[in-house]
Amino acid sequence: MRAFRLTETGMPPALAEIPAPSPGPGQIAVRIAACGLNFADLLMAKGQYQDQPDLPFTMGMELAGTVTALGAGVAGPAFGSRVAVFSGQGGLAEQGVFDADRAVVLPDSMPFEQAAAFLVAYGTSHLALARRGRLTRGERLVVLGAAGGVGLTAVEIGARLGAEVIAVARGADKLDIARQAGARHLLDSAAMDGDGLRDALRGLGGADVVYDAVGGDLGAAALRALRPEGRHLLIGFASGDLPRLAANHLLVKNVDAIGFYWGGYAGFAPGVMRDSLAALLDWYGQGGLRPHVSHVLPLERTAEGLDMLHRRASTGKVVIRCDGGGHIAS
């Protein structure tokens, strides 16, 4: 089978032919239809991710496909089930084997391309906002990187939870996508520096929660616009720079800086993750969530998809079709 592999530190990942695996105890085999790309894949390709797999490995953290075999001791999902899997690795391939308890059965109405874009982005934003950020109806939520893979879901979920959402993104086109997802206020980060963002947020009344997937100067500026007892959620650092969060500011303003790593819940609180994903899939089934996939590419163009993430040339998610499909989504 074909798989997109990282085999050596310092060398770029590439497509390779490897033997198709068979499921072991507690595992399922999946014929993979689609795999979603994430910013973490860029870090893995550089050997810089906080949960880096041992070399060599097949990349791809989340996937969707059809169950083709069950390992010993596995009661389900049943043969032929349509599933999505948060795997951590192995998704950028035509087939894979994964722990059965990492799989969720998909609603019949959910296409594979949307399912492959769903788990990490929506799971991250739901647990970050509802659990760690304690976001409540009527609060003001600032989303940095609001048109990106996780940022756009934070806008959508924040609006669904009843927050007044301020979207911060680069350019009118990306801000319009955030507006369609439920943002009430739009701020163009390409037209302002950190001080300008801080002043603009204060002009809107400040923030109760900041969802920061960007870091750098914008992250530090948004922190300075928090209202008393506000919460700054550290989701990621797409800018490449860590935000400089002054401890004295946290103290004087009575605000919180909160770290959040969604993947960690699979290890220390898997039930919390499962309940969150079940709620999100129920929302999807009710028509309450609309995953945004800007590009769908075939497996042989995976490197191009990763480059889109690096250049921030996409909105929402980039998805790789592993079964021979692929197109530029409208």
Tens-place pLDDT, residues 211-231:
999 999 999 999 999 999 999
Query: Is the residue at 213 inside a domain?
Result: yes
Residues 10 and 135 in one domain: no
Q: Among 263, 283, 307, which residue terminates a domain?
A: 263
pLDDT at 238: 84
pLDDT at 294: 95
Domain range for residue 17? 2-118+291-321
**pLDDT tens digits along 89-101:** 999 999 999 999 9
Residues 176 and 213 in one domain: yes
Number of domains in the chain: 2
Residues 160 and 237 in one domain: yes
**Residue 231 is part of a domain; what is its CATH number?**
3.40.50.720
3-state secondary structure of 286: coil
Cβ-proximal residues to 152 (8 Å cutoff; 6+ apart), any chain: 121, 146, 177, 178, 181, 292, 315, 316
Residues 144 and 248 in one domain: yes
Cα–Cα dist 37/43, whole Å: 12
Query: Is the residue at 268 inside a domain?
Result: no
pLDDT at 325: 64
Query: Is the residue at 276 inside a domain?
Result: no
Query: Is the residue at 328 inside a domain?
Result: no
Cα–Cα dist 95/67, whole Å: 10
**pLDDT tens digits along 303-330:** 999 999 999 899 999 999 999 865 544 3
Query: Is the residue at 277 inside a domain?
Result: no
Residues 109 and 238 in one domain: no
Residues 134 and 8 in one domain: no
**pLDDT tens digits along 97-131:** 999 999 999 999 999 999 999 999 999 999 999 99
Residues 127 and 62 in one domain: no
- The β-bridge partners of 232 are 210, 257
Buried b (16+ CB within 10 A) or exposed e, 35-49: bbbbbbbbbbbeeeb
Cα–Cα dist 293/36, whole Å: 9
Q: What is the pLDDT confidence band of residue 80, given thresholds at 50, 70 and 90?
A: very high
Query: Is the residue at 282 inside a domain?
Result: no
**Residue 45 is part of a domain; what is its CATH number?**
3.90.180.10
Cα–Cα dist 3/299, whole Å: 8
Residues 201 and 295 in one domain: no
Quote the mean pLDDT of the chain: 95
Residues 109 and 209 in one domain: no
Cα–Cα dist 73/79, whole Å: 14
For residue 158, how many other CB atoms are within 10 A of its CB?
Answer: 30
Average pLDDT over residues 167-192: 96
Residues 152 and 197 in one domain: yes
Residues 132 and 218 in one domain: yes
Largest CA distance in the chain: 60
**pLDDT tens digits along 273-290:** 999 999 999 999 999 899
Residues 104 and 16 in one domain: yes
- The β-bridge partners of 6 are 57
Tokens 């982005």 map to which residue?
A: 121
Cα–Cα dist 51/38, whole Å: 14
